[in-house]
Amino acid sequence: MSSILHQPLRILVTGGAGFIGANFLHRIVPQLSDTVIVNLDKLTYAGNLQSLQAIEKAPNYRFIYGDICDLDLVQKLFAEYQFTTVVHFAAESHVDRSIQSPIDFARSNVIGTASILQAAKDSWMHASSDMQEFRFVHVSTDEVFGALGPTGRFSPDTSYAPRSPYAASKASADHFVRAYAETYGLPVVISNCSNNYGPYQFPEKLIPLAIVRAMNLDLIPVYSKGENVRDWLHVDDHCEALMRMLHNGLAGETYLVGGSGECSNLELLRLLLTIVDEELGRTPESSWKLIKFVKDRPGHDFRYAIDASKLVTELGWAPNHTLEEGLRATVRWYLSNQPWLQSVMDESYRTYLKTQYEAV
């Protein structure tokens, strides 16, 4: 099977200043040194250019401050760069925020995706021969499938049943992506992935929130009784899966990505806090007392679990991190990256945005 990454490419990454996008850029910018890689990001509260300091001066990397909903801007970028690959991460991503501000999610996740698709389609349809291997990789979530009971796993055949405004917006985006594939023949690949964790994750999501709170001996809010189950995946394993989709993913296909790291939130936190205590030389299990049960999230999905066998058998992917190893590496990363963490906690990472881009 041919690999699109064997050719000189021009890649558009959307949302590359966020958690997964930044990890993805750290991987591809040094690896694909002959490839122009453009990162289009609006720098919402979740976008942090400090996460990209190690690669920001690379000659093959460009940052564009802008909104994916701005069709004029997106079309100009496609006209200028003639992208051969799009990896679309940009989205509002936090379920609790979607309950507070659903329209923001409809805008960025639905209109934004439609805008990127429209520009990609126009560019691809009028392009010269080096666009034959064009790919649009859409980074979606397992939440589009709704909630599982105690048994069963999501597969590529599972029906869509989103239950939160976030999940509904991502499901709608997925439908737009498929519609562009069916109607215009745009070569798309969709990835539906489970919960990621790892470096550079904004500390509103459960794992970084718990690490930061445990470091400071603050209480850790756990919704309801902590019985909800998630299938945790280290972000490097997700990025590796996306690379395999870029290399060998078949146009029109959907791949599910999950780490076989299923556990309840309470089990997860006990393991995580045990690691934090070990790394900080605290009395074993002493941080467990920080767990505080609080009111449940409205419409809280009970369980997610992924059957990733298609990705394993067709693209040869397998996760490299066990949950315990991945959590330990993540705890160590947060402990040893205090300047990054501090700038997020005191919001000084936003001043970088103001000085560099807001006047543009």
| Least distance from ligand NAD to the Cβ atom of residue 18, Å | 2
| Least distance from ligand NAD to the Cβ atom of residue 348, Å | 17
Under the binding rule (CB under 6 A), the answer on residue 44 touching ligand NAD is yes
Under the binding rule (CB under 6 A), the answer on residue 142 touching ligand DAU is yes
Under the binding rule (CB under 6 A), the answer on residue 266 touching ligand DAU is no
Q: For Cα atoms 180, 187, 159, give the angle at the middle one, nearest 5 degrees.
A: 60
Under the binding rule (CB under 6 A), the answer on residue 209 touching ligand DAU is yes
Kindly state the helix (H) or strand (E) to which residue 340 belongs, with its residue range.
Answer: helix 338-345
CB of 177 within 8 A of CB of 111? no
Neighbours of 286 (CB within 10 A): 15
Enzyme catalytic residues? 142-143, 166
* Span of 193-201, 244-252, 262-270, 342-350 interacting with ligand NAD by CB under 6 A: 193-201
Phi/psi class of residue 162: alpha, beta or left (left: φ > 0; alpha: ψ in -120 to 50)?
beta
Phi/psi class of residue 41: alpha, beta or left (left: φ > 0; alpha: ψ in -120 to 50)?
beta
Distance of CA 256 to the CA centre of its chain: 14
Site for ligand NAD in 61-120 (CB under 6 A): 67-69, 89-93, 108, 112
Beta strands at 262-264 and 229-231: parallel, antiparallel or unpaired: antiparallel
Under the binding rule (CB under 6 A), the answer on residue 21 touching ligand NAD is yes
| Least distance from ligand NAD to the Cβ atom of residue 311, Å | 14
Neighbours of 18 (CB within 10 A): 24
Under the binding rule (CB under 6 A), the answer on residue 17 touching ligand NAD is yes
Nearer to ligand NAD, 114 or 287 (CB): 114
Under the binding rule (CB under 6 A), the answer on residue 42 touching ligand DAU is no
Residues that bind ligand NAD (CB under 6 A): 15, 17-21, 41-44, 46-47, 67-69, 89-93, 108, 112, 139, 141, 170, 193, 195-196, 202
